Amino acid sequence: MASWFTPPGGEREPEPVDIWLLDDRGGRTRITTGSDWCLTVEEEAPHGDLDLGEWGRIEVRPDRAGTPFARHLGEPVLAVREEHHPLTGRTALELAFPTGAVRCDGWSGDLRVRHLG
């Protein structure tokens, strides 16, 4: 699952606001950026859409093709690597799958998700 910001009268932003990794045992892990630009990774269920009034909407949808995680649906996570900064905490998270890896980090306060191959 993932959420995206859509400004009023505009198109959906290309990068997600939140990503939820759901496992086959009912686990739900949310990845997002914090107000201090750290990368937040916590156990939390996906929320519904949010109407932000004059600022737009946050829409939550299944991630079938919207992020680099979509190509790894159903694959086990083989390894996880974190990067930390002494002042802000976690700054990046890499998850390795049998067919590649995905890196999540914050960029100017926004969540950035990239496929590593």
Instruction: List all residues 6 or more positions away from 58 whose beta carbon is below 8 Å from its beta carbon.
Output: 3, 4, 5, 6, 17, 49, 50, 52
Q: Where are the domains of the chain?
A: 2-116
Pick the closest to residue 39 from 101, 113, 116, 117 (CA basis).
113
Note whether 116 and 102 are within 8 A (CB): yes
Q: How many CB atoms lie within 10 A of CB 83?
A: 12
Pick the residue with more confidence: 56 or 87?
Answer: 56
pTM recorded for the entire structure: 0.88
pLDDT tens-digit readout, 23-46: 888 889 999 998 777 899 999 999
Residue 65 has pLDDT above 80, yes or no: no
The pLDDT, as a whole number, for residue 101 is 97
Pick the residue with more confidence: 49 or 66?
Answer: 49
pLDDT tens-digit readout, 86-115: 887 888 999 999 999 999 998 878 899 999
Binned at pLDDT 50, 70 and 90, residue 8 comes out as very high
Pick the closest to residue 99 from 80, 73, 81 (CA basis).
73
